[in-house]
Amino acid sequence: ETVPNIYVKDYNKVPPLWLVTVGFSRHGKTTYLAALTLMLENISKVWHDVYYRPLDQYTFDAIRNMRSEAIHGELPSKTQSQQVLRPLLFNVYDLPESGSRCLVMYDVAGETYDSLDEIQKYVT
């Protein structure tokens, strides 16, 4: 995958914070990350000077899909084990006490953790 230019350009000013889900199927990993993502849209209501921006089209489309599911009262679709693992990338600016960070969020399918061999495959 190509890394967005903004990620590379701002790496020293907006260091990454990696969030990777770990847990078995149907434990709420995808729902948790969707809720966290949707909270970013309202973060300035909690911290007035904080704002975020998606770094690529994939993340922008994922947010739009999460928003649509939430509006319609639907839970996020289950992450499929055969899906290519691709992160959501957000820059979050001016967090109190933390400064700016790039959230790199991976939603790993629960089936990944059903065997030790599969866990080892995805640890890196």
Predicted confidence (pLDDT) per residue in 22-62, tens digit: 666 666 778 888 888 888 888 888 899 999 999 999 999 98
Higher-pLDDT residue of 83, 97: 97
Tell me the CB-side half-sphere exposure of residue 62, using CA atoms within 13 A: 25
Q: At what angle do helices 29-40 and 57-71 cross, to 10 degrees?
A: 100
| Distances 46 to 9, 21, 49, 98, 113 between C-alpha atoms, Å | 28, 25, 9, 15, 35
Predicted confidence (pLDDT) per residue in 13-32, tens digit: 999 988 877 666 666 778 88
